[in-house]
Amino acid sequence: MKYLVSNWERVVELFFQHLFLISVSLVIALAISIPIGVIISKVKVLYNPVVGLLGIIYTIPSMALFALLIPLVGLGTRSAIFALVMYAQMILVRNVVAALEGISPAIFEAAKGMGMGRWRIFWKIEMPLAMPVIIAGIRITVVSLIGIGAIAAYINAGGLGLLIFEGINQFNPQKVIAGTVAITLLAIVTDQLLQLLQKKVMRSA
């Protein structure tokens, strides 16, 4: 903890680098996973091949995936975001599908009986009802990405993982502890905030 206290300015800088990396990756991942999840929830035949492919990607060790991306995307933040977006898809897509399939068919029949069209039903009924489950998936995804994002320091993407790698290379356990504590705090605080959002959405759904 000595390093964390005496070098708090650098820790804060790396903290925000890590937060930026995760935030951008999550936004991009959601922009991809929600449409995919909606499509395969409607076209059932696509579920197994799509989820199977995403499962294969998810099982690739993070260090190996980062290394594989270096010749294709290069070093730095862009490569890290690319990898994190790939990792996020498995959890997010499955939760989107589960959320949409968990809605009672009777609700759709009632909406159709009220004269609502397909798109209006989707935006006014399906998405609001599915949102609590989708946010639950986002919570799991964010915590996973915060941990995996620490490995991004290996490819010069910055973030709190840099403290851990530096500590290991310099035989400085204080840096390792500082990085670990900061990453843990980021994961806990982010999860708690998303939990509050999930509860709020559930109350309004």
Distance CA(129)–CA(202), nearest Å, equals 8
2 or 50, which is more confident?
A: 50
Residue ranges of domains in the chain, CATH in brackets: 2-204 (1.10.3720.10)
Question: Quick count: other Cβ atoms within 10 Å of Cβ 181?
Answer: 16
- Is 178 in contact with 7 (CB distance < 8 Å)? yes
Token look-up 């559930």 returns 202
67-103: pLDDT as tens digits: 888 777 777 888 889 899 999 999 999 999 999 888 8
Model confidence band, residue 50 (pLDDT cutoffs 50, 70, 90): very high
pLDDT of residue 205: 58
Complete DSSP assignment for 72-125: HH-SSHHHHHHHHHHHHHHHHHHHHHHHHHTS-HHHHHHHHHTT--HHHHIIII
What was the pLDDT predicted at 52? Answer: 92
Q: What's residue 114's pLDDT? A: 78
Which pLDDT score is estimated for 7? Answer: 78
Confidence of residue 32 (pLDDT cuts 50, 70, 90): very high
Looking at residue 116, what is its pLDDT?
Answer: 77
Residue 1: its pLDDT value, please?
67
